[in-house]
Structure 1
Amino acid sequence: MRPILRPAILLAGLALLPSLCACVPVVIGAGATGAVMASQDRGLEQGIDDNEISFEINRRLAARDEELFKRVSTQVRHGRVVLTGFVRNEADSATVSKVAWSVDGVKQVDNELQTGTPTSFSEKADDTLITTKLRTALIGDSAVASLNYSIKTVRGTVYLSGLAANDAELRRVIAHARDISGVRNVVSNVDIKKPG
């Protein structure tokens, strides 16, 4: 190959790189998500059901009121829905609960919504850092099945959901959360695994 063609091929390859890279997370993301769900206590089928419930709640919220959709975060584990975020008033909070309960497969709704202004960019950054630190602590603790927990932080309040192997494991998770700088409160919506 002549030397002049190599830079041209290299430039063409670099030009295509962003479009190729854009496809990779979709493929890897879908496979990784499936692998994670399969290794959780809830299993792949329950994980898919929970994702469908979450999607449907969000779809219905968006269709009803786009502002509510933007303000509300939904976590679903074993059909148990945890709603977090800031809504305009108590009527909005009741509406979101009603929408969540209207979706097939929902077994419980924990409404942790607060009234007030949505979190600012800096508050979201602080909350993301807390969530990341807690996730890292749980992954590093061999006495905790970290994949069985969902974490959402809103203005320093950590909301936990999922399935704990036992009370001792849940206490460890809560202790990890309380040890993180910036955590104001820990709210547990975690179920304890039934023996047998």
Structure 2
Amino acid sequence: MTRTEESLKKRVVDQLYWDDRVDASDISVEVHGSTVKLSGNVPSYRAREDAVLDAWTIDGVSAVENEIEVEFPTTYKVPTDDTVQTKIDNRLLWNTYIDSTDVHTKVDAGFVQLEGTVDAYWKKIRAKQLASDVDGVIKIQNELAVVPTESIVDKAIAEDITSALDRNLNVDVDDVDVRVKNGEVTLTGTVPSWSAYRAAINAAEFTAGVIEIEDSLKIE
């Protein structure tokens, strides 16, 4: 491991131990070049997601491989699948932006499947986030289909995404190439940081008419 890799690893480890939401005692960190690999286990699915975000926030990280598994503490009383499903269904029901009648959940040994439809891509992402906060979740498979309530032509979608990028101070619009076909967005290009990457993804996620996103962006 080079000095640069050692320095990057130390900063990632320090970030994980700093974050009170993440129990980093059983997380292993490997660094190859600018790629960070996380493995080991954490006590909740939410902590698994937070650990990945912690790694991404470190300057110099260009990719994160997440092999962390959820392993409940021995003293933890694992909720039944029915309990987990009910809690997820309630969180979806209480969310004012998601029509929960079109979202169907299945839970098997902590493995959650989200099926059905939503009318915007960001709602698909939000549904998964709501499920990830529920105790007892080990893994989530998001199979929600995006079915917009109105038809928006690809050119208009691309223009809206590009305009959003141009307004954002965290990303240079010239660094991101946007292509849209039948509502499916492909983002390519190279951005300098996680904040720029996240800004580009958000620009696509929050645009009306988007049904899927293919992320081919690189961080360098």
TM-score range normalised by the length of the shorter chain: 0.3 to 0.5
TM-score of the pair, normalised by structure 1: 0.35
Of Structure 1 and Structure 2, which has the larger fraction of its residues in strand?
Answer: 2
Normalized against structure 2, the TM-score is what?
A: 0.31
